[in-house]
């Protein structure tokens, strides 16, 4: 995941360009690497699609369909390793960019019967740090104990809850329908707490979160190297920048016409990419001015 360096006076084009389209599938997630290659879970065809902007063929399938069943969430790290949540098998799979092999890291077999407290059954977002420690957010309207974030060391099968409790709620130590999760360089955790219309920051080792932004109809967010937030909202179809280092934490609309988009990521140069559900495409808002 890219945390781009964005200058205070940076601006973006107000008109997007379609960089990838997929009329035959309805992906829920995507990830992007340092080469602006786009990775999309294709649950219909049991694979991962890769879009390479400099390739003549554009689309490829780096992972075959013999191993994956229903991939829905994805994370690509800075070494191009891929972490995949398979929602039908209740598994986290890992594709190594060095040996190009796919293997299962975590498998939660008890989910086939019912949701379990020590199992991940309803994952929404998956990220990994530089040590390949895996973080997964989980939420479900059916099971209150799933409103949480769990942490798993690489090559281990036992995790522990680092955010949220056994009940959904709005207290500092609770979450309600957590979705996207991000990590900063200090391993602080940021959570899109959708049910509470807020973004929570959990400092390393702390179970009480701090609300760093309250956003009506929050959909998704990303973050730059300054810690500033870039937020997708449903209510006004905009992308807002919320400055964390500013004395007043001011909000500003940086892009004003984002239609039916559900995911947001930075490209390598600071351009903004969104998953457009209506057009079934990845749209790019080019960064115009980013000099500092």
Domain CATH for 268: 2.120.10.30
Q: How confident is the model at residue 74 (pLDDT cuts 50, 70, 90)?
A: very high
Total count of domains within the chain: 1
Dist CA 90 CA 13 (whole Å): 40
Q: What is the pLDDT of residue 249?
A: 58
Please list, residue by residue across 193-217, b when 16 or more beta carbons sit within 10 angstroms of its beta carbon and e when fewer do. Answer: bbbbbbbbbbeeeeeebeeebebee
Whether residue 246 lies inside any domain: the answer is yes
pLDDT beyond 80 at 257? yes
Whether residue 264 lies inside any domain: the answer is yes
Structure tokens at 189: 């955790």
Whether residue 4 lies inside any domain: the answer is no
Q: What is the pLDDT of residue 157?
A: 80
pLDDT tens, residue by residue, 169-200 = 999 999 999 999 999 989 999 999 999 999 99
Range of the domain at 88: 11-289
Whether residue 5 lies inside any domain: the answer is no
The dihedral through the CA atoms of 89, 129, 141, 220 has a sign that is negative
Whether residue 207 lies inside any domain: the answer is yes
| pTM for this prediction | 0.93
Dist CA 139 CA 67 (whole Å): 25
Whether residue 1 lies inside any domain: the answer is no
Whether residue 243 lies inside any domain: the answer is yes
Nearest in space to 181 (alpha carbons), one of 172, 194, 166, 197:
194
pLDDT tens, residue by residue, 88-117 = 999 999 999 998 889 999 998 877 665 556
Whether residue 2 lies inside any domain: the answer is no
| Maximum CA extent, the chain | 55
């Amino acid at each position: 995941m890219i945390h781009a360096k964005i200058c205070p006076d940076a601006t973006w084009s107000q008109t997007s360009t379609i960089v990838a389209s997929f009329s035959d599938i309805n992906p829920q997630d995507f990830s992007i690497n340092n080469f602006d290659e786009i990775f999309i879970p294709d649950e219909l065809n049991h694979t991962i699609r890769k879009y390479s902007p400099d390739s003549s063929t554009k689309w490829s399938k780096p992972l075959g369909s013999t191993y994956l069943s229903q991939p829905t969430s994805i994370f690509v790290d800075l070494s191009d390793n891929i972490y995949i949540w398979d929602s039908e098998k209740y598994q986290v799979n890992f594709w190594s960019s060095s040996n190009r092999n796919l293997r299962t890291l975590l498998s939660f077999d008890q989910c086939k019967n019912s949701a379990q407290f020590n199992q991940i059954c309803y994952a929404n977002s998956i990220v990994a740090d530089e040590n390949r420690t895996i973080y997964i957010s989980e939420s479900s309207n059916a099971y209150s104990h799933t409103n949480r974030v769990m942490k798993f060391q690489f090559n281990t099968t036992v995790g522990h809850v680092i955010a949220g409790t056994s009940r959904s709620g709005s207290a500092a130590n609770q979450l309600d329908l957590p979705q996207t999760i991000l990590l900063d360089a200090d391993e602080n955790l940021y959570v899109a707490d959708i049910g509470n219309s807020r973004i929570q920051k959990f400092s390393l080792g702390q179970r009480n979160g701090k609300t760093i932004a309250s956003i009506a109809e929050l959909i998704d967010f990303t973050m730059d190297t300054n810690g500033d937030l870039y937020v997708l909202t449903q209510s006004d179809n905009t992308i807002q920048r919320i400055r964390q280092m500013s004395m007043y934490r001011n909000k500003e609309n940086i892009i004003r016409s984002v239609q039916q988009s559900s995911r947001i990521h930075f490209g390598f140069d600071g351009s903004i990419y969104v998953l457009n559900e209506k057009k079934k495409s990845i749209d790019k808002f080019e960064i115009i001015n980013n000099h500092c």
